[in-house]
Chain A
Amino acid sequence: MFWSTLLMALQEIRRNALRSFLTMLGMVIGVGAVITLVSVGQGTTAQVTADIAKMGKNLVMVFPGSGHRRSGTAASAPPFRNEDSVALAAVQGVEAIAPLAAGNLLVVYGNKNESTQVMGTTTAYLGIREYAVEQGRMFSVSEEHAGRPVCVIGATTREDLFGSQDPIGESIRIQRLSCQVIGVLASKGQSAGGQDQDKVVLMPLLTFQRRVAGTPDVSSFFVTAADEIDTSRVISGIASVLRERRRIASGATDDFTVRDTAEIAQAVTAATSSMTALLGAIAAVSLIVGGIGIMNIMLVSVTERTREIGIRIAIGALGREVMLQFLVESVVLSVLGGLIGVLFGVLGAYGVSRGLSMPFVVSPETILLAFVVSALIGVVFGYLPARKAARLEPIEALRHE
């Protein structure tokens, strides 16, 4: 019975090919939009998560200020000192630590100049941030202690300033400092925040403090936490050392922030997930519109076929058999539309991911959900027309012209 009903529905849909196609179009667009938009959202999430992971493994960052930008403490909180670095290195679970003094400064070579993130740090920074030297070398520990005017540049900076020219041995100028390029970093791409991580100049911390900034300030620390120790314990260890060194009374709030990448990833993922949900919800509205289209056409179809229904009932069809026939018809319409929609949705998601060079993420759950929802829409919006058909009185239906 079910198969013959299904067959009947398919015949009916084929007989009204154009009308069926237009009816399905609503579902095609609805399902396609949901899949494309949700996939784009998930792709964004995947990319951001990957970007954060690329910042460095078990990375912990320490900044002055409470982290609440509006409170104003960030500006008034005192910077760190070189000695803090030594104290923090002794905290249990700190595998590596790099102090950082940085500024966004104009870097000049020849007639070209670029505003670039210039950082004074130690050799440990490369390992912590997982930068690799592609060409030349990193500055040595002795150059670091001596505060030599040498620097290592990022891939973008090299491209911007030198083009195809070999930068090794050339001198670049940062404010009054003339600095010799000794190495080029391998490209790392954009950060999670959208910053180009290759638009950098690294130099020994002392060089930066003495010859660029003119102060002994350290603006932040980058720490790699040991694998075998819970990162939250490392964070609290760092916090307690800093509270002591900065003489913060017990009960007073920290004037610095210690944060790990997991925390940042969580915050960003939460934001992109809610964006995905919002996009999906907007697209879902078009699914409902598609369902209403199906209901509309099914109601017209029931009226048109009143006589046919009358004949079927007179011959002995039960109300529920007539109902099943029309329900199957609307479900077949919506599911066919849904399937085509899945196809277009996946194609759309692929197109967008190629266009925005994002990861192409289509989860099977999304497709399954779209499929189930389209079947459900067929049932829900087909119910009213089907019930109308099932309730027809045979005598009146047979008299219908």
Chain B
Amino acid sequence: MAAPSATGQVPLIQLAGLTKHYGKGESLVRALDGIDLIVQDGEFVAVMGASGSGKSTCMNLLGFLDAPTGGRQFFRGVDVSTLDGDQRALLRRNFIGFVFQGFNLLARSTARENVELPLVYRRMAASERRHLSARALQRVGLSDRGHHLPSELSGGQQQRVAIARALVTTPSLLLADEPTGNLDSRTSAEIMDLLVHLNRDEGITIVMVTHEPDMARYARRVVEFRDGRIVSDHPGEGAH
């Protein structure tokens, strides 16, 4: 068990001296070089840094898409440092919602089918899936677009579908990797407003990777990466 924080609450995420190395010998890359980080429930954290700073690697570890090389990783106080692929898949299935830069929707499935996909792997009955997906689409303001294919939607709408897909399982943690990277500034603001709304009004914990200070402004806490280490950790403008 990880040590409870000062408030006595078990943190959602606790990283202790976490490392991730690629390659070996001379070509060894220390993508993460000893990270210590605690994220509590309800936070909205922006992870910033230049490309190659390790922020994406950290994101992959937080989302259980990859396993760390060393150090300890706790999720709700449980050590998840050394899990195999299927165990990590089950954690993703049950606790994580992903929003990607490139939307990553199934191109030949409708918006509703995309939103229902995580529920299929939870072996949920079709009627219940339909009910939950309709509600998730409503939360992102796309109730009337359920039967459209991604190619029939704008970039902003596609990202909303992706957010609905991430929300539909009511995850403990929403991970957003450059969610506005492919969007124009007006649409970006809309998406960020949606994320802020989800965090503030629905209490969803969000960790968002971005390299744009404009987007990081929305978060309540900003963590900055450089060369595989955290170089600053301060409250963001969204905290006010």
Q: Please provide the chain B residues from 86 to 109 with a CB less than 8 Å away from any CB of chain A in the complex.
A: 86, 89-90, 92-94, 96, 98, 100, 104-108
Q: Roughly how many angstroms separate A226 CA and B6 CA in the complex, as a whole number?
A: 107
CB distance from A270 to the nearest CB of B (A): 55
B166's closest neighbor in chain A, by CB? Answer: A315
Q: Roughly how many angstroms separate A308 CA and B107 CA in the complex, as a whole number?
A: 8
A4-B120, A312-B117 known; A317+B106 contact, CB < 8 A:
no
A15-B108, A394-B65, A395-B65 known; A315+B118 contact, CB < 8 A:
yes
Does B85 contact A316, Cβ atoms closer than 8 Å? no
Q: 1/0 per residue A1-35: CB within 8 Å of B?
A: 10010000000000100000000000000000000
Does A317 contact B104, Cβ atoms closer than 8 Å? no
Does B65 contact A314, Cβ atoms closer than 8 Å? yes
Does B104 contact A398, Cβ atoms closer than 8 Å? yes
B97's closest neighbor in chain A, by CB? Answer: A315
A1-B123, A311-B106 known; A316+B93 contact, CB < 8 A:
yes
Q: Roughly how many angstroms separate A15 CA and B149 CA in the complex, as a whole number?
A: 14
Q: Determine the chain B residues whose CB is within 8 A of the CB of A315 once the complex forms.
A: 92-93, 98, 117-118, 121, 165
Does A314 contact B104, Cβ atoms closer than 8 Å? yes
Does B104 contact A307, Cβ atoms closer than 8 Å? yes
A321 at the interface (CB under 8 A from B): yes
Q: 1/0 per residue B148-169: CB within 8 Å of A?
A: 0000000000000000010000
Interface size on B, residues (CB 8 A): 26
B116's closest neighbor in chain A, by CB? Answer: A4
Q: Roughly how many angstroms separate A308 CA and B117 CA in the complex, as a whole number?
A: 11
Interface size on A, residues (CB 8 A): 20
Which listed residue, A15, A319, A398, touches B89 by the CB 8 Å rule? A319
Q: Determine the chain A residues whose CB is within 8 A of the CB of B89 once the complex forms.
A: 313, 316-319
Q: Roughly how many angstroms separate A319 CA and B121 CA in the complex, as a whole number?
A: 12
Q: 1/0 per residue A192-213: CB within 8 Å of B?
A: 0000000000000000000000
Q: Determine the chain A residues whose CB is within 8 A of the CB of B86 once the complex forms.
A: 318-320
Q: Determine the chain B residues whose CB is within 8 A of the CB of A308 once the complex forms.
A: 106-107
Q: Roughly how many angstroms separate A401 CA and B98 CA in the complex, as a whole number?
A: 19
Does B121 contact A316, Cβ atoms closer than 8 Å? yes
Q: 1/0 per residue A309-347: CB within 8 Å of B?
A: 011111111111100000000000000000000000000
* Residues of B bordering A, CB below 8 Å: 60, 63, 65-66, 85-86, 89-90, 92-94, 96, 98, 100, 104-108, 117-118, 120-121, 123, 126, 165
Could you write out 11 A-B pairs with CB less than 8 Å apart? A1-B123, A4-B120, A308-B107, A312-B121, A314-B104, A316-B93, A316-B94, A316-B96, A318-B86, A395-B60, A395-B65
